[in-house]
Structure 1
Amino acid sequence: MESNWNNFLKNAGEWVGTFTQISTDGEVLGSTPSILTLAALEDNQLVKFRLRRFASNINEQPTSDRVQEYRSLGRQAVFFDTGAFSKGSLQVAPFAEFGAEYGFVAGNRRSRLVQLFDKDGNFSSQTLIREIREGTDAQLRPDLTVEQLVGKWTGTAQTVYADWQEPTTYTTSLEIRKIGDSLHQQLSFGGRTIASIARIDFPRLHFDDGATPRQVLLLPDGVSSNIPVRVSHRQAFVVEAGWLLSDNHRQRLIRSYNDKGEWISATHVLEERVS
């Protein structure tokens, strides 16, 4: 695995996109245009970040213009070899908001997702950011559907740990079947197999049979948002985002927290549909 900084540099460029607010039920509420610039300077030792957001189109004056410089990255941000990244809260704490952000990169496309939970730990909002590299003709992906996920997927996962122990790499297998109004899923990794069943309530998938009820929201641009209904500093949980970047290729980013609410790892999964 390359260094965190070198993987961060794979996001360099000017990205034209939209910030789209999405309800906790998966409903699109509204969008605002944006231009994000990540400029690598001083022989890649400095990255200048600039984010401009606009009321209706990028040819008008921005409503906000944020500039920041980076010479290092915080512990909470993990960048993987494709340039994909996840970052977020290091600790779930009582009476404090909790959040996670994910970013996927493929050629001239980026797709990012922000999940937020309120001070009581309840899922409260999410923002989808869809970006195209300036000057290219890259296209957005279609809205994600249940049928696009059905099949057998094999992949490779890489996990980076909060205590900076050596990262681990392992294979994964995911089989998804649609039976009536239910989605049956079997995930195998690291010698473990987890089976689960979701009730389909498009664009939501409700996983109610585990210790922690979860829902997966199927979103525009091939993105999925996988979250517990509530996060707690007393129960282990994961939060996740996925991106179907082509019909048979998918990436997932997972952040794991222990039963003290502490962030313990970040995982990136590269999957290919084999049947």
Structure 2
Amino acid sequence: MATLKGLTQWECLLLNLGCWQGSFTRLSPQGELREDIKSETILEGLDSNKTIQQTIRQFYPDRTQEKVLTYSSLGRNILLFENGAFSQGSIQLGFQSEFGAEFGLIDRTRRLRLVQLFNKEGNLDSLTLIREHLPESNIPERPPLKLESLLGHWQGEAITIYPDWRSEIYPTASTWSQQDRQVSMTLRMGSDPSIPAITSIATIHDSNPNILNFEPSLMSGDLSIQTLFLPDGSSSTSPTHLKLGQPFRLAASWLVQPDLHQRVIRSYNAKGEWIGLTFVAEQKIT
């Protein structure tokens, strides 16, 4: 099995073992609350961790819904990092078919997951934010993410894993700035100074300060890209509408600490094929 800094993909999955207690918060694409259901997700290793049993319980006011899954191998639609972060989802954007992805990030005894779902017309249809903790956790939930927390200069490292399990690691640097309702995010990935940094310009939504609407760019083409700030220091970034012929990226982020920002990015090419998964961890320097 392919390795990632000495860990197999299965060993990376084992970092998610535990009884994760929290809730499934279902939201509209604009962040409006649709439903909040208390939950418990148990991942336990069987047969010396060669098999994993996943039990998902959702506690509705009038009933408990339970689903049990058992598996001993990983599908082609999921990749994991050595800290337990992962993403699974659609590997191909198709015509008149639903499309979606789940992202997961872990910080010691807390875990954050985000599910982005698109309907058959390609429109962003719903988001589910899953905030979880182990029973012994004493780490409090983070405040809802605000733009002010991202402003400044950040530096860090990214690792990209490809579906054939090749991987590469490279430095990153980003800068967030704001002038009135306009927000600028400049990103440099890699150490080659000849590769220009990419600057994306966004406007704060007229009636919702938790939404950034990005202008068309080299990275997004003519797709409308939205970042939505969410509870527990998290955010969701994606096109509001998908279409073939234009590469796109889906992402979830987590401000783990005031000076530590993590992102998982799922990339697709113009044919709608999943081509890679990237984990970025950046420290705030100014």
Same fold by TM-score, threshold 0.5 exceeded? Answer: yes
Matched residues in 1 for 2:46 and 2:284: separation? Answer: 39
Matched, 1:81 2:82: yes
Does the aligned pair in 1 maintain the 2:188–2:196 contact within 8 Å? yes
Determine the structure 1 residue equivalent to 2:8. 3
Give 1:152's aligned residue.
Answer: 153
Deviates more, 1:28-37 or 1:98-107: 28-37
How far the C-alpha of 1:137 sits from its partner, in A, is 2.4
How many residues of Structure 1 are paired with residues of Structure 2 in the alignment?
Answer: 270
Q: Which amino acid aligns with 1:213?
A: S
Query: Which whole-Å deviations, capped at 9, do the CAs of 1:52-72 have from their partners, x for residues lacking one?
Result: 00014xxxx852111111211
Contact 2:200 2:215 in 1 (8 A): no
RMSD: 1.2
1:215-245 deviation line (CA, Å, top 9, x unaligned): 1000001111000121122211111110111
Shift of 1:162: 1.8
Name the counterpart of 1:189: 189
* Structure 1 residue 192, shift from structure 2 partner: 4.2
1:242 correspondence with 2:253: yes
2:276 corresponding residue in structure 1? 265
Moved more, 140-149 or 209-218: 209-218
Structure 1, unmatched stretches of 5+, are none
The answer (yes or no) to whether the contact 2:110–2:137 under 8 Å persists in 1 is: no
**What residue ranges of structure 2 are gaps of 5+ in the alignment?**
none
Give the distance between the partners of 1:42 and 1:193, measured in 2 at CA: 49
Aligned pairs for 1:86-105 (under 5 A) are 86-105=87-106
Give the superposition deviation at 1:150. Answer: 0.6
The answer as to whether partners of 1:233 and 1:262 remain within 8 angstroms in 2 is: no
Q: Distance in 1 between matches of 2:261 and 2:106?
A: 12
1:40 matches 2:41: no
**Worse-matched range after superposition: 194-203 or 101-110:** 194-203
What TM-score, normalized by structure 1, do the two folds share?
A: 0.95
For 2:54, give the aligned amino acid. F
Identity among equivalent positions (%) equals 40
Identify the match of residue 199 of structure 1 among 197, 203, 225: 203
CA distance in 2, matches of 1:171, 1:24: 32
- Structure 2 distance, partners of 1:96, 1:192, is 36
The 3-state SS of whatever aligns with 2:148 is helix
Runs of 4+ in 1 over 3 A off after TM superposition: none
CA distance in 1, matches of 2:137, 2:260: 21
Q: Residue type matched to 1:225 in 2?
A: S
Shift in Å, 1:47: 1.0
